[in-house]
A and B are shown apart, each in its own frame.
Chain A
Amino acid sequence: MRNPARLRGSRALALLLLAPAVLLCLLPITYALALELWFSVSSAAPGTDGGFVGLANFQFLAGLDSFWQMLFNSAAYLVSGTLLKLLFGLLMALALVRPFPGRRLLYAGLFLPFIFPVVLGTIAWYFLLTNVHGALDYLLQGAHLTQQPLDLKSRLPLLSVVAVNVWHGSALFGVLLLAGMRSVPADQLDAAVVDGAAPVRRFLHIVVPYLRPAAVLGCLLSVLGNFGDFATVELLTRGGPLGRSQIVSTFAFENALLSGALGLGAAVALVMVPVYLVALAVAFRLIRE
């Protein structure tokens, strides 16, 4: 198809063009990964490389109740967060799939939580949920629904974190599923979303198969995003109270930065790798289809 002599001459150019991406991305990430593996089997601390300690860091973690609690929290966070985002994203996509006046504006409004800086969104939720003159309590007390502050952040810390995550991330599922719905043949989509005899069954049989790639992609991004999330938990609850909302990254942050045990922190962060590898296998199957 193309001139082979020309292509051979272009190899040097190709490497040159790849250089920025390799130097700024693949190289530092590979180096960091190698360093992390070393940290996890060492007694490294800030300013020192420490010595080889074998699996002592992992054994120490396995003996900590707070470590297992953190793993349970992380699993609950990513599973419940992902399922709820899928549900709300699907509702958003269904409500927006057919044209109506003002659709574009609504679309932008519902997408706003996803693009709004997550730090600001979480700070806002902190003050909505706080037990000191919280904005949510103000509304509820104004409507005479409660007398006392709800204090959700302390009483249900994990649920509060999930709620903020769902607020932030549902729109991503919404836009992905909307893009997926565009691949459904128009007449079939119309038949499925118009009110009728058995709209739910028709939706399940006709539309859902077309939405599978979008849904799987959304779930992948959500699972990996939640597993690696830091800002939401750190700003809303700091992993507390008493570690009840601690997740992988806040736990690693506490060990590595606040306590200075880089080795322990690295071992905690590496907990994410098995989940990442499974997700990677799913992702490669998805893009091969």
Chain B
Amino acid sequence: MSHRQPPVLEINNLRVEYPLANGGLFTAVENASLTIQPGEIHALVGESGAGKTTIGNAVMGLLEKPGRIASGSIHIGGKLLDPTSGSADGVVLGRDVGAVFQDPMTSLNPLFTVESQLTETLRAHLKMDKAAARLRALELMKSVGIPEPERRLKAYPHQLSGGQRQRVVIAAALSCDPTLVVADEPTTALDVSVQAQILKLLRDLADTRGIGILLVTHNMGVVAQIADRVTIMHRGRVVESGPTAEVLRRPKADYAKALIGAVPRIDMRLDRFPVVGDEAKGRAADAREAIRAKAFRADTTVDGTEILSVENLCVDYVTSGLIPGSRGHRFRAVDNVSFKVNSGEVFGLVGESGCGKTTIANVVAGLVKPTSGRVLYQGKPVAGEGGVRRVGPLRQAIQMIFQDPYSSLNSRIRIGSILAEPILFYRLAPSRAEAERDVAQLIEAVGLDADSAGRYAHAFSGGQRQRLSIARALGARPRLIVCDEPTSSLDVSVQAQILNLLKDLRDATGLTLLLISHDLAVVRQMCDRIAVMKSGKLVEEAAAETLFQSPQHPYTRELLSLVPTLDRIRGETESAT
């Protein structure tokens, strides 16, 4: 370039503080610096609490009170941002800086049409009249790839699909030709296939229009796919920064190494997730041994034989017609699915949202009644005559752990009571004192301190709560545990720990796991056999290695190709292994 343009965004030694109610000070961001050139996508990565969203907010001038910029500077297009007002001379938020937030459903106002939400920005900043604004809005819709833009303009947000909504949000961000776009987790709420399209769109925009994009995300795969440079943050500090390929392949800082290492790989299966700072092995192992002894006293199932059989399962949901005119809409969530799970194995059920995998999990756990077909556990039907109610030993044998660690423990009951409940209910301990000892053992088996029993759920972090949920499931001495997206809501490093825990428990006690997930990489690392689902149907079932190395069904192949992984890093010239 003959004339050097100023960087689109330049952050120097930024420090953001939040004064606390008790008089203290919380430093959300400390000494952060980064630069974005025109046409560059710069990813800001970190786990929750890293400070990445705070930086995004600071750049947009939308820091939530009482947060403030304590020191350092932010320059947008060479112009300095005033720390108190959050704006810079000549830089207008919405015109020169565009924003894309995570959830398109809540970003758009449900009471106004797409057209009005696109044109209001144009008319506010560019002083266009109604007709001109409408034309421009149409252009924008086309440029972000929305089919039938004329029709969609008149639509309301709830009438569009998730992907289309996010495209509208991006169109709104681009409407006045900004130089910088701040995108905060733009694809986290979207399906894998839609995510792939949106990421491609962002990349194209940066390439063709020279927009600089600050991409805030926690997903390393996304970073690998489209970011030119990446900055990794941890607890408010910048840990590492540089070109994507370099940082991801050859990280220097310890935290960066741990973070990247914890990301589940889709290319090959490792024995365990490499995790920095694993829990104390000794006590946990003893506890697990004791559990195994208790659980398997009366059980005669041999490893490897069939323990669960799903036969021609169909589940329909009848909605009372949100669609006018129809009396009731029958939605087939699960369509004639059959598979078998063997004792001691980890069976994965994978697919995008809405494919029916969670419904199957609920049927197996006894929460939902199937419309037709049946589920057999050790040859006996799981559902009783009444439909959902299960008969004694079957209830006990199949337990479940859930996705959201924050709603899976009753916040009003002590942990000890929560864990003791299944034990007492099934009279698995001869006395209350015995039950308490069992509870202590369970807690240790999942890697926590036994005195956790006296506390309440809110005293624990997301990962710890998930461990406690696992402990509760183990309390009933099950043979099969259904795991519904057990780590999707957790940070990457915590995810690795929990998955390791599940592996260890399985190894120690011979449990069978039915693992539901949308994350192919996780499934690859954890499962022995995998079934892929799409729109309620089971499209492929195979051993893990076979599935990943030679997928048969076109959908499986498509899914594998769309997953953003660390194996295909932007900017690398060498081919992936």
Is the pairing of A and B real?
A: no
Please list the residues of chain B having a beta carbon within 8 angstroms of any beta carbon in chain A: none
Please list the residues of chain A having a beta carbon within 8 angstroms of any beta carbon in chain B: none
